[in-house]
Amino acid sequence: MDKLHKKELMNQWKNRKPEMGIIGFYFIETQELFLGLSKDLSVGFNSAKFQLSLYSHPNMRMQELWNLYGENNVEYKVICKLKYDDPKEDQTKNLKELLDICLLEDQKARRI
C-alpha cells in the first residue's frame, strides 16, 4: 500500500460518522433489559459481549444472568440512534441524556 492511499484511508477513518445511540441487552429467561450508550453501535455490542465472555463485566447482575443462561438467552437491540452532524464533536453529553430518557420510558430497564 502506498503512502498516499494509506493517508487517504486514515482521513476517511478520522472523518467517518459512526452510528451512535442506546443499546439494549434483553435477557429472555428473566425478561430483564439493560441499556447502555454506545459511541459506535457496531462496536458497542461486541465490547460488552467480550467482557461478559471473560467474566469481567462491571454490571454484576448482567454477568450473573450471562453465566446462568448463556449468550443464547440474550437479544441484542438498538433502542434508539442519536442524530448528530459533526463527527468530531464529543457526543457523550447527548448520549447520556438520551440514555436517561430511555430509562425513564422503560421503568423496568436498568443501566448497564
Residue-wise pLDDT for 86-109, tens only, equals 888 999 999 999 999 999 999 999
Q: Which pLDDT does position 88 carry in this prediction?
A: 84
Its domain, for residue 31, covers: 20-111
Total of domains in the chain: 1
Residue 34 in domain: yes
pLDDT tens-digit profile of 30-71? 999 999 999 999 899 999 999 999 999 999 999 999 999 999
Residues of the chain with pLDDT > 70: what percent? 96
Is 66 contained in some domain?
yes
CATH number at residue 66: 3.40.1440.10
Cell of 10: 486514515
Residue keyed to cell 487517504: 8
Residue at 14 is within a domain: no
pTM to 2 decimal places: 0.85
